[in-house]
Copies of this chain bind each other. A is one copy, B any other.
């Protein structure tokens, strides 16, 4: 942890639990941000003391105002600065002098308005560093802590949200206002609500670590517009989920960038930004959401209910149609309908009407009242195979909506299994929905959203259980030689390395390259060929000959020592005939690879996530179907395995239509070596192994062609 991060860790505690606050730059103009911030702090009955700071006013909202921060007689834990951007630095300087360690700058007019604003932002950062201040913002909505012992709404949000266990972090302030409004209508409570704006100093990373340790927070929600440090974000998310078991839900705008790059097949253009984001987030255990509604649908499932032990659910409904829709959605999302025991069905047969469906999904029929729901719920909860209960209700004329809602609350409290509900409709079901939500039963207008949310929660906990594996590091790599080659190439400005050099580098990093050796006599050629194993390919090696085949300089499919000797002679003869002045170094004898499957491996360097590893099947699969997988380096065996299994054409490697199973173990090793190379050599901007030829299981694979692009400046890495 950097020194600055450590300072933030200490200061954030004070920022969210201050005993005293200065609102610097407030004024008496109602309906403006400087006024609203102070008024909100007073209105929500903040448990500490607040000091207005305003150069021109005696008091604001009936509270005595001070001209400058340094005039405040008492110590101050947190300053909220609402001055115009041009003077914020002066206010911050005074906060430093006053010894204030936590500052939130609400004011806009910084990085987001261009060069001048960026300068101002840098100035703020220098002052913050000088005084060990931790700074949230600028250009943000403010912060909220719902803890009743604190009661802090230091924001210009219209209303304080309910108390709850969801921590919300947002780069956009405006989105916060929509989120708060959306959440209030659904009784969704928050622990902390933090708008971090331009994240000049404190970033989402610091705040995630803060919420990781925050006892009041159980779920972390994050809205991001730009990922500044992708690797730090991944690490923070991984730390949070692994250490605390708290899920991180992310809404990231900018999805459509991906659409831009389309056809070409090399790693660079294949990796649309958004695909890399998706891969990185998944790898870090982050749950990426498509929109605000989905984010809260999943968030309340995490926040309100226990982790499901399996994906087996029971569906209880008072209507057949919606029962079918829910079953469809559940199966679609990878859930299973639990099978009821004979005992449960006997109970249902006894206590439910004859036209009820006593199998899963249980249909308690349109005229069902709370008593029938009770029977079905109790049966479902008691059933050992059921690990989640879905309650569906449609508002039919006899449906006692509120009583049924209360019944769901009452019965579910007796069991520890998760229960979700979908009371379909809107107006008439509203009072019932209200009862459910107030009692922390996740409710969804659409059964489809209910199933999807359960599925995301289930998968999160399932994946959390998977073991972390020790990273495999290969020691049989010649790092120094590779560095030498790369640095020399960069020094002489050769940023695009030809096949031979790329192959050499890969060989030095332990990749299987096609065995080959230079023969100088016919007998030598035969000896080499025998060592390599037949069949071999023989090619003339001469700097003066570009198109070797054209001058008869290539013989394929050499199958014995005798043939090798003959081929040597024939090639030499051909060269003499065709190009007598050529200087011939010898004849290259190399293993002939006949029947392998071609795959593509690559490195691409992403500006925020660093080295990205790519895998796909060769030929048209990549080009036509974009059937590729990405991961952020480093990757371990499990990740390499998942990269291979993730692509659809993976079946081809398993053996299909009489083709043999391929040596995927060898691909895995190559992927891990590639990851190691990418991390060891930041000079590599892009590397494509295209193709790697993969033989039958147990027979290995060979790099058949590769190309490599360097980047001149590696100081950033």
Contact = CB atoms under 8 A, between A and B. Distances in A.
17 contacts: A31-B398, A172-B319, A172-B320, A173-B319, A174-B322, A175-B321, A175-B424, A178-B319, A178-B424, A183-B426, A185-B425, A225-B324, A253-B328, A254-B328, A291-B446, A620-B652, A624-B651
A182 B426 contact: yes
Pick the 3 closest A-B CB pairs, nearest first.
Answer: A174-B319, A181-B425, A172-B321
Contact of A292 (B318, B331, B424, B657): B424
B623 A656 contact: yes
Contacts of A425: 177-182, 185
Contacts of A173: 319, 366
Interface in A171-218: 171-175, 177-186
A98 B657 CA distance: 70
A182 B396 contact: no
B395 A332 contact: no
A429 interface: yes
Given A331-B256, A620-B649, A624-B656, A322 B181 contact: no
A311 B332 CA distance: 32
A58 interface: no
Contacts of A472: none
A357 to B, nearest CB: 11
A73 interface: no
B656 A620 contact: yes
A157 B397 CA distance: 6
Given A332-B255, A425-B178, A448-B291, A321 B657 contact: no
Interface string A29-59: 0011100100000000000000000000000
Contacts of A396: 156, 174, 177
A181 B620 contact: no
Interface string A317-360: 01111101101100110000000000000000000000100000
Contacts of A180: 425
A319 to B, nearest CB: 3
A368 to B, nearest CB: 11
B174 A320 contact: yes
Contacts of A183: 426
Contacts of A322: 172, 174-175, 178
Interface of A: 31-33, 36, 108, 113, 156-159, 170-175, 177-186, 223, 225, 253-256, 259, 290-293, 318-322, 324-325, 327-328, 331-332, 355, 366, 394-399, 424-430, 445-448, 620, 623-625, 627, 648-649, 651-652, 656-657
Contact of A318 (B174, B182, B185): B174
Contacts of A399: 177
B184 A427 contact: yes
A321 B225 contact: yes
Contacts of A108: 355
A637 to B, nearest CB: 25
Contacts of A424: 175, 178, 181-182, 292
A400 B97 CA distance: 40
A264 to B, nearest CB: 12
A574 B253 CA distance: 73
B625 A185 contact: no
B178 A394 contact: yes
A33 B397 contact: yes
Contacts of A179: 425
Contacts of A31: 397-398
Nearest to A393: B178
Contact of A332 (B259, B394, B623, B625): B259
Contacts of A429: 178, 181
Nearest to A253: B324
Contacts of A430: 185
A396 B32 CA distance: 11
A251 to B, nearest CB: 8
Contacts of A178: 319, 322, 394-395, 424-425, 429
A332 B398 contact: no
Looking at A256, A318, A623, which has the most chain B CB atoms within 10 Å of its CB?
A256
B321 A445 contact: no
A624 to B, nearest CB: 5
A81 to B, nearest CB: 18
Nearest to A265: B657
Given A174-B394, A394-B174, A398-B31, A328 B158 contact: no
A170 B156 CA distance: 47
Nearest to A259: B331
Nearest to A426: B185
Looking at A108, A159, A397, which has the most chain B CB atoms within 10 Å of its CB?
A397
A108 B353 CA distance: 14
A134 to B, nearest CB: 24
A178 to B, nearest CB: 3
Given A424-B292, A425-B177, A445-B182, A321 B620 contact: no
